Amino acid sequence: MDPFTPPADSSLWCKNFLLGAATASYQIEGAVNEDGRLPSIWDTFSAVPGKVLAGDTGAVACDHYHRWEADIEMLAGLGLEGYRLSIAWPRVMDAAGAPNRKGLDFYKRLLNRLKEKGITTFVTLYHWDLPQHLEDRGGWLNRETAYRFADYVDLMGRELAGTVDAWATLNEPWCSAYLGYGNGHHAPGLANQRFATQAMHHLLLAHGLAMPVLRANDPASQKGIVANIGRGTPNSDSAADRRAAHRFEVQHNAWILDPLLKGTYPQDLFELWPGTEPLVLDGDMRIIASPLDFLGINYYFRTNVASDGAQGFRDVPLEGVERTQMGWEVYPDGLRDLLIGFKDTYENLPPIYITENGMASDDEVIDGRVDDPQRISFLKRHLAAVDGAIKAGVDIRGYFLWSLMDNFEWAFGYERRFGVVHVDYSTQKRTVKRSAELVAKFLKERRERG
């Protein structure tokens, strides 16, 4: 057996378990000034010296806007069954809210080709590239942005109905709110804890407003949202450290999942961050808690934490553990434990797709090949964790590798390589890594088994 293939009793052999790969518009498309695309907050942010490693930007990225046909052939050639992509809001609407036909036509061609190839399409409507003109009016701190998002979703639902199997309204609102408005690590680069909680509320409101619009415009598709989750473990068995680990998971997981699945914010959150309660209007929580057809889950690592001596927590990095190029600990059990915990916590937990899971490594092309043994081991162990959660009763329908190809990794620029396909950014040559070859081999064997 090769170093990737799951054991014979794994749920992954079920032909109904979808296995695909994911990307995001700003990370791969490039062509930021072409065919009527407007500036996004990431164009603005990455142009500020010191914000992105090596001064990198997404101006060219993987040049997918011009190379999409070959990229789809590559995806199909690997036998991947699903493709999760995102739409660039600044590419499909002008500042007045009118459609940009050239941008829309790009996505129509892309999605139609994917359907011709028999590839299941998961489309994320917001993967962080907010139009800059909306940020100029307050961005996600401005409640009006939630309504502008609903207008954008209305256009996408009407224009792309029938080509999308599953819509996700938002990708990782935790990152948009906390990294964008709470600590300034991501665009738009603001750093105020009160801003983070208000931005989160407007992001979730935008999601809730979008759900009935999608149901009306594209009833045959699935509708959901994607959340990144984090496992927090206590540095010791002390009550203070166990409380710290609980509060880590409150701010990383329950902050998003409680409003979606319970219609309330976790009170522990405002004990951790006192005085940061967002302005919530009557009816908002009911809108946010609109029923989901699926929940997308993104998972990468765990954080070991201790009490900070007050109400919060502090990171205590463990020594002697396996880490990726990002410095993140490889901890597959965290994914299994969180999924099982969500099943026990949320009575109305919808079906789950693992919409991102993967790792960065410093991959090189040597004699025309890219060997990435750590990634192969990482994927096998995390898929085993997913299988463990399925066997514990969690309804998990599929798994998307992050990412199809190396790309612009936000504040880390092009140094960190998450792809199962290597990209030479000077030539745009794609080289399939060994991990992708083994995934393709498994999928071929699964199809042959019937």
Annotated binding-site positions: 27, 127, 171, 300, 402, 409-410
Given a contact cutoff of 8 angstroms between Cβ atoms, the answer to whether 294 and 351 are in contact is: yes
Tokens of 200: 């989160």
Question: Measured between alpha carbons, how far is 207 from 275 in angstroms, rounded to an integer?
Answer: 25
User: Residue 370 to residues 153, 206, 274, 413: CA-CA distances in angstroms?
Assistant: 39, 41, 49, 21
Task: Tell which residue, 415, 416, 387, 380, has the closest CA to residue 401.
Answer: 380
Q: Are 162 and 214 in contact (CB under 8 A)?
A: no
**Tokens 């500036």 correspond to what residue?**
39
Residue ranges of the annotated binding site for substrate are 27, 127, 171, 300, 402, 409-410
Closest CA to 358 of 375, 383, 372: 375
Q: Is 445 a catalytic residue?
A: no
What's 353-389 look like in SS3? EEEEECCCCCCCCECCECCCHHHHHHHHHHHHHHHHH
Is the bond preceding residue 278 a cis peptide, omega within 30 degrees? no
Positive or negative, the CA dihedral 408, 414, 420, 423 is positive
Chain centre distance of CA 168:
10
Q: Name the token pair of 364.
A: 């090189």
- Catalytic (active site) residue 364: no
Kindly give, in sequence order, each residue whose CB lies less than 8 Å from that of residue 56, ignoring residues fewer than 6 positions away: 46, 408, 413, 414
Catalytic residue among 356, 415, 445, 448: 356
81, 172, 249, 329: which one is catalytic? 172
Active-site residue list: 172, 356
